[in-house]
Amino acid sequence: MVCAWRGDNAACMVKSVSITDAQFRIGVGVAGVALVAGIAAVRFCGSVSLPPKPPPPATLSGTSSELLTRSSASPVMYQDFVTRDAAAAGVRAPTLEELSRKLPYRVDEARHVLEVGQPAIELAGVRLRAIRIADGLALEIANATASAIAYAVASLPIPAGGCGAAPVRTFNAMTIRANASEIRVECGWRDGIALAVTRVETLEVSPLSAWYLDHLPPSMVGIEPRIARGHQEPETGGQSGGRCAFALPQSVRSGLERGEIGWRDLVDFYARHRCQTYRFPLKYRAFKTDGERSVPAVSAGM
């Protein structure tokens, strides 16, 4: 722009300046370099504060089975199982206090020989009588108490042996209701055969406990195969959640063989716990007093 003064007035006019293509390209290049330098200065010489990264969402570790096992240790979930199982069994749901009571226990460890035709004898809450059924020697076991009972009668045919081919008769090998009896085949019939009873154990149990035990395989409480083979589950259906395990853990089996765990301990536990969800803790022993410990009884670390 060029301006000239004339008196008190100034007259200006715009003067055009020509720029070559080369000059224009150089100018654009210089501006681009300056822009890149400015961005780099901000990127590498300055710092921009960003909010901290949020922590990852909390997750529970372990398999689904392990998580279920840990949650089942809760008294609330345990009571829920009891309530649902009682409804399925058609009986009253016991309280946690009732489930923590000692179960009345009887035992007779003397040896008794029973012959067909002799009167019944009463031992540890049951009446026992040897009878003949078709081609077999059988033992009639009657509940002599006013409550449902879990029972174990150890016996041995005399003379021993030759009983593997005995006919199978279905019966309840785990419990007997009040005023009821069970008949189990002991051996095939032969002249002169008798039956030696070497140990009798009984536990008085509640209706729900009897229902729990009825669905437990006899092998899970140490009952020998010769006797357990005739056991039949009730037709009322099993507990919700599937069938019980059929294999006795080796650690429990070893404890039974060493005498560290007894039939009473196993039955006492499963009379209080559904077998699909809870597993026998190796250190568990039958309640000796009311409220001795809380339920559910679970292994350490659950």
- C-alpha to C-alpha distance for 140 and 78, rounded to whole angstroms: 37
Render pLDDT for 162-174 as a digit per residue (tens, 0 to 9). 787 788 889 999 9
Which one-letter amino acid corresponds to residue 298?
V
* Confidence at residue 249, expressed as pLDDT on a 0 to 100 scale: 87
* Confidence at residue 165, expressed as pLDDT on a 0 to 100 scale: 78
Contact status, residue 103 vs residue 203, Cβ threshold 8 Å: yes
* Confidence at residue 60, expressed as pLDDT on a 0 to 100 scale: 44
pLDDT confidence bin for 272, thresholds 50/70/90: very high
* DSSP code at position 193: -
For residue 34, give the 3-state DSSP assignment: helix
Question: Is the predicted pLDDT of residue 234 greater than 90, yes or no?
Answer: no
Contact status, residue 257 vs residue 38, Cβ threshold 8 Å: no
Average pLDDT over residues 53-58: 52
Question: Is the predicted pLDDT of residue 36 greater than 80, yes or no?
Answer: no
> How much is the mean pLDDT over the chain?
83
Render pLDDT for 68-97 as a digit per residue (tens, 0 to 9). 556 789 999 999 999 999 999 999 999 999
Average pLDDT over residues 17-30: 56
For 204, the enclosing helix (H) or strand (E) is strand 194-205
Number of Cβ within 10 Å of residue 163's Cβ equals: 17
Question: Is the predicted pLDDT of residue 42 greater than 50, yes or no?
Answer: no
Question: Is the predicted pLDDT of residue 66 greater than 70, yes or no?
Answer: no
What is the residue whose two structure tokens read 């009253």? 92
Residues 62, 63, 66, 71, CA torsion sign: positive
Q: Which of 14-18, 129-133, 141-145, 186-190 has the lowest mean pLDDT?
A: 14-18
* Confidence at residue 62, expressed as pLDDT on a 0 to 100 scale: 47
pLDDT confidence bin for 244, thresholds 50/70/90: confident
- What angle is formed at CA 113 by the lines to CA 111 and CA 114, rounded to 5 degrees? 135
Q: Which residues of 211-233 are buried (b: 16+ CB within 10 A; e: fewer)?
A: bbbbbbbbbbbbbeebbbbbbeb
Number of Cβ within 10 Å of residue 81's Cβ equals: 20
* Confidence at residue 226, expressed as pLDDT on a 0 to 100 scale: 85
CA nearest 103: which of 280, 282, 270? 270
- Choose between 27 and 67: higher pLDDT: 27
- Choose between 37 and 145: higher pLDDT: 145
pLDDT confidence bin for 14, thresholds 50/70/90: very low
Give pTM, 2 decimals.
Answer: 0.75
Distances (CA, A) of 100 to 73, 206, 290, 291: 15, 12, 6, 5
Question: Is the predicted pLDDT of residue 106 greater than 70, yes or no?
Answer: yes
- Name the percent of the chain lying above pLDDT 90: 61
Q: So where are the chain's domains?
A: 85-270
